[in-house]
A and B are shown apart, each in its own frame.
Chain A
């Protein structure tokens, strides 16, 4: 009992500590974050042979869920390649991209907790649910037909000196403007 009390006091002291405040608590600047992301992008290409991607993984998540409820995607063009088939067969736990996406969730959770800033944000209004459903579907479908999301198609595309990255940027910028108008009009 006494021990836990001491521990709590220790962490309360940490909270007041100047270096904790400066290094753990306060946010990074946008430019610092941009540089770190760039460095990790380069590390990712150098160590895995491919740049960073996020949304391709979601297609596999969808396929695993679909197969769990009795569906079959083997005949779909998207999953027809032998590479996609072996990824599907190996399963969720052996999929590297899945672990990277889970890592993003847990990494963000860890820094939030270390900064003592975690809070469950509940749904406040129905329009938030509608926005989340609609936005999620649009992102998912869009990312598949455009070969990726803001990471795989935009960030990694441009970094790979691919024209597709710039075209994606233009389309995404136009979509963001339309999305902003819709958001202000219907979802606020």
Chain B
């Protein structure tokens, strides 16, 4: 059996013989260009350089980890696999602790907490928006971060979806006033520590993440047994 496989492999790859071009020099050059851009941005404004560098890091991590938020939501249904779902839950758990520590530090000193603009009203628009976002990312083969990463990997398809993501964003921004007035304003922003207290909020959230992790593992086993 093993021999037959070797034969098959040779036959299929020999049919498309192309000279292998080593891309490492291009990679090294690009890293140098990235550094030069970073320095140029830094002389203009340290904030721009910081955003550029963290963007590079996010892109590199996503690509090297083949990390995909789309797959974490889609694969449980489509293939029964939950390894990415569980990885995303781990990321949620760690960030919860880090964010809570930072926010609590500010709150304890009576200072305004950073990043509170991301605690947004929960309304019907959240559900609808998230729902159509979910449909879109599966069809387009990549979420917001995944689309950018795949553009970097050379996908023409995601280049198109990035353009229409931008068009859709503009369209959404155009209609935002309507949504805000009719739907979003009826909702309320809920910051969990306001409801459960700091320790309670962290405990509740980590418990939910933990339960989801266990459920994902059990679900995968069940799907595999079918």
Contact = CB atoms under 8 A, between A and B. Distances in A.
Chains A and B share a contact (CB less than 8 Å): yes
Interface of A: 7-8, 11-12, 14-15, 27-55, 58-59, 61-63, 65-66, 73, 76-79, 94, 96-97, 99-123, 128-129, 131-164, 166-180, 182-184, 187
Main secondary structure of the interface of B (DSSP, over half): helix
Given A41-B95, A172-B73, A180-B77, A128 B157 contact: yes
B27 interface: yes
Main secondary structure of the interface of A (DSSP, over half): helix
Interface of B: 22-28, 30-31, 34, 41, 44-45, 47-48, 50-67, 69-70, 73-74, 77-78, 83-84, 86-88, 90-92, 94-96, 98-100, 102-103, 114-122, 125-141, 143-145, 147-158, 160-177, 179-180, 183-184, 189-193, 201-202, 205, 208
Contact of B140 (A40, A135, A161): A135
A19 B150 CA distance: 26
Given A35-B90, A54-B144, A159 B95 contact: yes
Contacts of B84: 30
B172 A145 contact: yes
A54 B155 CA distance: 19
Contacts of A112: 27, 63, 152-154
A39 to B, nearest CB: 7
B171 A141 contact: yes
Given A33-B67, A150-B143, A108 B134 contact: no
**Max chain A CB contacts within 10 Å: which of B61, B100, B130, B155?**
B130
A154 B27 CA distance: 32
Nearest to B90: A34
A163 B190 CA distance: 6
Please list the 9 inter-chain residue pairs (A to B) with the smallest Cβ-Cβ separation, ordered nearest first: A103-B55, A140-B168, A175-B134, A33-B65, A135-B140, A144-B172, A146-B129, A107-B59, A171-B130
B118 A162 contact: yes
B137 A61 contact: no
A65 B127 CA distance: 29
Contacts of A116: 22-24, 27
A172 B72 CA distance: 11
Contacts, number: 544
A164 B55 contact: no
Nearest to A100: B55
B41 to A, nearest CB: 7
21 contacts: A15-B24, A30-B65, A30-B87, A34-B88, A37-B67, A38-B90, A38-B95, A100-B51, A113-B24, A113-B26, A123-B157, A135-B135, A136-B160, A139-B165, A146-B127, A153-B130, A158-B96, A161-B193, A167-B122, A171-B130, A182-B139
Contact of A187 (B114, B139, B168, B174): B139
Contacts of B98: 38-39, 41-42, 45, 159
A133 B166 CA distance: 11
Contacts of A158: 92, 95-96, 205
A38 B100 CA distance: 13
A131 B142 CA distance: 11
A79 B22 CA distance: 47
A137 B171 contact: yes
**Max chain A CB contacts within 10 Å: which of B141, B166, B192?**
B166
